[in-house]
C-alpha cells in the first residue's frame, strides 16, 4: 500500500522580510468538517493500520497484556469532607468510575453520586472534570466534556432526591466553586474561538445562564484563569497565571453579592501562589527569590508586598514549590538536586515553633505529592508516593512524629515482582558543561551494561513542568522485553529550580534539544543502550522536542513516537486566533518581534524539515485537540513525506473522536500505548 500523498497548494507567508512557502496550509479547517481534510486523515489511518497489519497479533497481545495488569475491581481510599466520606470505584470491564459518599470510612450508608459509565454512554469521548458539592452537602455540580476540546458543560444534581436540576451552564472551564450560601456558584466562561477562559460569572441556582452576572473580565489575553477557595473557605480566589506573572482577585464567599477585589497589585515578573487560614495569608512568592520563599500577611498587609513577613527564606539550591496549611502545622513541598521532599513545621497561630522535620522516603529517585487533605484541623496528612519500581502508594503521615502508615498501594495484576527491577539516577554532562539529571529503570536479569539493550528515552522540557520518575505498569511491557527506560530531565522543566526552566525557554530553547541529544549519546557511550536500538518519545511540547531532535540528530534514533505534537511553532505563534497562542509568548517568544521570530524559525520542526534520512516515526493526534490543533502534525507528516530520503516507516494516526488527552476511559486509552509499543518493536525488528 502506498503512503497517502497530499496535494500541494502554495501559500506564501511573509514576516520581517522573510518568506516561507507553506504548501499544506490548506489542511487547516477550524470547523473540522472539510471532506477533503477528513478523507486524507482517514487515508492516513488506513495506511498506518495496513503497515502494521503483519504485527497486528502482537499489538492485540500487547493491549491484553497492558489491560491484564490493571485490577478490574478497585476503589480509592475514602476522604473525609464535611460529615461524609467520599470515594470512587471501578469494576469489571467498565471504562469509568462510580463516585460515592458514605457516613463512615468503611462505607456504611454508601450512596451513589455519579455513575460515569452512564454519563458516558453513547459518547465516543467523555471527560468528567470537577465535581463540587455545595457547603450544605445537598447539591452536586459536575463538569462534562463530550468532544475533547476541554469546553465543559456544568450540570447540577440534587443529592437529597437524586434528580437533576434544570440549571445548566455551557462553554465553561472544567471547574465551579460554591459560595457559602449554597445558592451561588462561580465559573469561568471560555472564548469560543481562542478557548481561553477570561470571564468569571456568578450563577444563582434556579435561574437561566443568560441571567448570570459578570463578576470579572481579564483584558490581558496572556493570562490563564482559574478559580479556587481558601483553606478556611472564607474567600473565593480568581487566579490569573501568565508564564512570568501571577495576579489574584478575591470574592467574599459569605456574600452572595460580593465584588471582585484585587488581593495585591499586579507586578510584572511576580509569580506567587496564595492561600488563607484564619487571620493569616500565606504566599509562596518569587519576589527577590528566584526559587521562591514563604511569606505571611494579614488582611491589612496583604495588598502591600513590602509589608509581608518572611516565614521561610529563599535558598539558591532549593526550590520551594508549595505549602499545605493545617491549624498547627505547615506541610512544605521542596525540591533539591531534582528530588522532592516534604518538610513539616509546627506553628502556633502563625508563629513557627522550632526547626522543620523532613518526611522520609527510600528510593533513589521518586515522585511524591500531597494528597487530598480537605480539613485543616487534623495532625495527619496524606502523601502519594511512587517510583520507577514502586507502584503508586498512598501514605498517611503523622505530622507530629513523622511516622507513616500505608493506606493503599496500586495492585499490579499478574506476576509483577518489584525486586526484578532496578532504578538509577544519573547526571549527564551536556555539551556546555551543565550536568543534566536522568532517571533510569530496567529489569535486572535482562540488563547488561555492554551496549546491547534497546533504549526508550522520554522527554518533555517546557513550561517548567517536571516529569518526575513514577511507576507505570505499562512500561513493564518494554522492560520485560529487555528495554532500558530513561526519563531525560532536560532544561525547560523546574527539576533543578527556576533557573533550570529559564535556561530552556525563549532564546535558550535550543538547550532543551541539546540536552536530550547529549543524553542519548552519553547513555549509548556508557553502555545503557544499543546505538542501533534507540527509541524516543514525547507528547505535546515533548512532541516539539521530538520534531526538533529528528531534524538535528536523526542518526541517533531508530524510532520516534511523536504524540499530539506542537510542530508548526512559527505559524501558530503568529496567529492570535489559535487557542493558547497569546498565553505562550513568554514561553516561546512573540514572533511579531523580529528577534523572537528568527529564534523560533531556527528550531520550529515544520520549518526545518530537510532532505535527509529520518528514523521510523509514529505520529498521533486527536481531531478535536484544543491545545495543539490537528493540522500541525498533519502538515508535518505531509511535508516529511515530501522531503525524507529513507524508506523507514512514517505513520500517522488520528483519533477522530478525541482531543489533546487522547482516548477517554481506562482501557480504551491502552490501545494507544499498545500501538506505540508495537511500532517500536516493529521498527527494531523484534521477534516475539
Q: Which residues form the catalytic set?
A: 540, 625, 660
Question: Given strand 272-277, what is the order of strands in its sheet?
Answer: 272-277, 280-285, 293-297, 309-312
The rounded radius of gyration (Å) of the Cα atoms in the chain is: 25
Q: CA separation (Å) from 317 to 336, 363, 668?
A: 6, 21, 42
Helix (H, G, I), strand (E, B) or coil at 418: helix
CA 574 to chain centre: 24
Beta sheet of 164-178, edge-to-edge order: 127-133, 139-145, 152-158, 164-178, 184-190, 197-204, 213-217
Pick from 676, 560, 662, 677: which is nearest to 621 by CA? 662
Distance CA 143, CA 148 (A): 13
Asked if residues 310 and 327 have their Cβ atoms less than 8 Å apart, the reply is: no
* CA atoms of 390 and 416, how far apart (whole Å): 11
Report residue 522: phi and psi, to 5°: -70, -40
Strands 98-102 and 84-90: antiparallel
Which residues, at least 6 apart from 238, have a Cβ–Cβ distance to it below 8 Å? 200, 215, 216, 225, 226, 227, 248, 249, 250, 251, 260
Which residue from 340, 338, 437, 442 is spatially nearest to 384, judged by alpha carbons? 340
Q: Which helix (H) or strand (E) holds 563?
A: strand 559-563
CA 311 to chain CA centroid, Å, is 30
Contacts (Cβ under 8 Å, ≥6 apart) of 81: 133, 374, 375
By DSSP bridging, strand 559-563 and strand 534-539 are parallel
| CA gap 594, 14 in Å, rounded | 12
Rounded to the nearest 5°, which phi and psi values hold at 59? -60, -40
Phi, psi of 287, deg, nearest 5:
-60, 120
Amino acid at each position: 500500500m502506498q503512503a497517502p500523498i497530499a496535494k500541494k497548494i502554495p501559500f506564501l507567508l511573509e514576516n520581517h522580510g522573510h518568506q516561507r512557502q507553506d504548501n499544506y496550509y490548506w489542511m487547516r479547517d477550524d470547523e473540522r468538517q472539510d471532506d477533503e481534510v477528513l478523507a486524507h486523515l482517514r487515508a492516513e489511518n488506513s495506511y498506518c493500520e495496513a503497515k502494521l497489519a503483519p504485527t497486528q497479533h502482537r499489538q492485540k497481545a500487547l493491549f491484553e497484556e497492558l489491560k491484564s495488569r490493571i485490577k478490574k475491581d478497585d476503589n480509592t481510599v475514602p476522604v473525609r469532607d464535611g460529615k461524609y466520606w467520599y470515594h470512587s470505584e471501578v469494576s469489571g470491564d467498565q471504562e469509568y468510575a462510580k463516585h460515592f459518599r458514605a457516613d463512615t470510612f468503611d462505607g456504611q450508608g454508601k450512596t451513589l453520586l455519579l455513575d460515569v459509565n452512564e454519563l458516558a454512554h453513547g459518547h465516543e469521548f467523555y471527560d468528567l472534570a470537577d465535581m463540587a458539592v455545595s457547603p450544605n452537602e445537598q447539591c452536586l455540580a459536575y463538569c462534562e466534556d463530550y468532544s475533547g476540546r476541554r469546553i465543559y458543560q456544568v450540570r447540577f444534581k440534587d443529592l437529597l432526591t437524586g434528580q437533576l436540576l434544570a440549571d445548566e451552564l455551557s462553554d465553561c472551564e472544567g471547574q465551579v466553586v460554591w459560595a457559602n450560601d449554597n445558592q451561588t456558584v462561580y465559573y469561568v466562561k471560555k472564548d469560543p474561538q481562542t478557548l481561553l477562559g477570561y470571564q468569571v460569572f456568578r450563577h444563582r441556582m434556579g435561574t437561566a445562564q443568560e441571567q448570570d452576572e459578570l463578576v470579572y473580565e481579564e483584558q490581558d489575553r496572556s493570562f490563564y484563569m482559574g478559580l479556587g477557595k481558601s483553606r478556611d473557605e472564607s474567600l473565593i480566589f480568581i487566579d490569573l497565571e501568565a508564564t512570568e506573572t501571577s495576579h489574584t482577585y478575591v470574592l467574599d464567599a459569605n456574600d452572595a453579592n460580593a465584588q471582585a477585589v484585587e488581593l495585591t497589585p499586579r507586578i510584572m515578573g511576580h509569580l506567587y501562589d496564595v492561600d488563607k487560614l484564619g487571620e493569616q495569608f500565606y504566599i509562596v512568592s518569587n519576589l527577590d527569590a528566584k526559587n521562591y520563599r514563604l511569606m505571611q500577611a494579614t488582611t491589612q498587609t496583604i495588598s502591600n508586598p513590602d509589608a509581608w513577613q518572611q516565614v521561610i527564606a529563599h535558598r539558591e539550591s532549593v526550590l520551594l514549590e508549595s505549602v499545605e496549611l493545617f491549624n498547627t502545622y505547615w506541610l512544605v513541598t521542596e525540591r533539591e538536586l531534582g528530588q522532592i521532599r516534604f518538610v513539616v513545621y509546627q506553628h502556633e497561630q502563625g508563629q513557627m515553633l522550632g526547626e522543620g522535620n523532613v518526611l522520609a522516603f527510600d528510593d533513589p529517585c521518586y515522585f511524591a505529592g500531597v494528597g487530598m487533605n480537605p480539613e485543616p484541623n487534623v495532625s495527619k496528612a496524606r502523601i502519594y508516593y511512587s517510583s520507577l519500581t514502586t507502584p503508586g502508594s498512598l501514605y498517611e503521615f503523622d505530622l507530629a512524629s513523622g511516622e507513616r502508615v500505608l493506606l493503599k498501594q496500586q495492585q499490579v495484576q499478574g506476576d509483577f515482582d518489584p525486586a526484578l527491577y532496578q532504578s538509577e539516577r544519573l547526571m549527564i554532562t551536556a555539551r556546555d558543561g551543565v550536568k543534566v539529571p536522568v532517571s533510569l529503570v530496567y529489569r535486572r536479569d535482562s540488563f547488561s551494561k555492554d551496549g546491547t539493550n534497546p533504549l526508550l528515552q522520554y522527554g518533555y522540557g517546557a513550561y517548567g513542568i517536571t516529569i518526575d520518575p513514577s511507576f507505570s505498569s505499562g512500561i513493564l511491557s518494554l522492560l520485560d522485553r529487555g528495554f532500558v527506560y530513561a526519563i531525560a530531565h532536560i532544561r525547560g522543566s523546574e527539576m533543578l529550580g527556576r533557573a533550570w526552566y529559564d535556561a530552556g525557554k525563549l532564546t535558550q530553547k535550543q538547550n532543551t534539544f541539546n540536552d536530550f541529544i547529549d543524553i542519548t549519546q552519553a547513555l549509548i557511550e556508557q553502555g545503557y543502550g544499543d546505538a542501533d536500538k534507540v527509541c524516543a518519545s514525547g507528547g505535546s511540547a515533548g512532541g516539539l522536542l521530538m520534531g526538533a531532535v529528528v531534524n538535528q540528530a536523526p542518526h541517533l534514533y531508530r524510532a520516534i513516537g511523536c504524540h499530539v505534537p506542537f510542530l508548526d511553532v512559527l505559524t501558530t505563534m503568529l496567529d492570535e486566533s489559535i487557542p493558547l497562542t497569546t498565553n505562550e509568548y513568554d514561553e516561546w517568544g512573540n514572533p511579531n518581534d523580529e528577534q523572537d521570530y528568527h529564534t523560533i524559525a531556527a528550531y520550529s520542526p515544520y520549518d526545518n524539515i530537510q532532505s535527509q534520512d529520518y528514523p521510523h516515526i509514529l505520529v498521533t493526534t486527536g481531531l478535536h485537540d484544543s491545545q495543539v490543533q490537528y493540522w500541525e502534525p498533519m502538515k508535518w507528516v505531509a511535508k516529511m513525506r515530501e522531503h525524507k530520503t529513507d524508506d523507514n516507516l512514517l505513520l500517522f494516526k488520528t483519533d477522530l473522536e478525541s482531543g489533546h488527552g487522547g482516548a477517554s476511559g481506562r482501557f480504551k486509552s491502552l490501545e494507544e500505548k499498545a500501538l506505540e509499543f508495537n511500532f517500536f518493536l516493529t521498527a527494531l525488528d523484534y521477534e516475539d
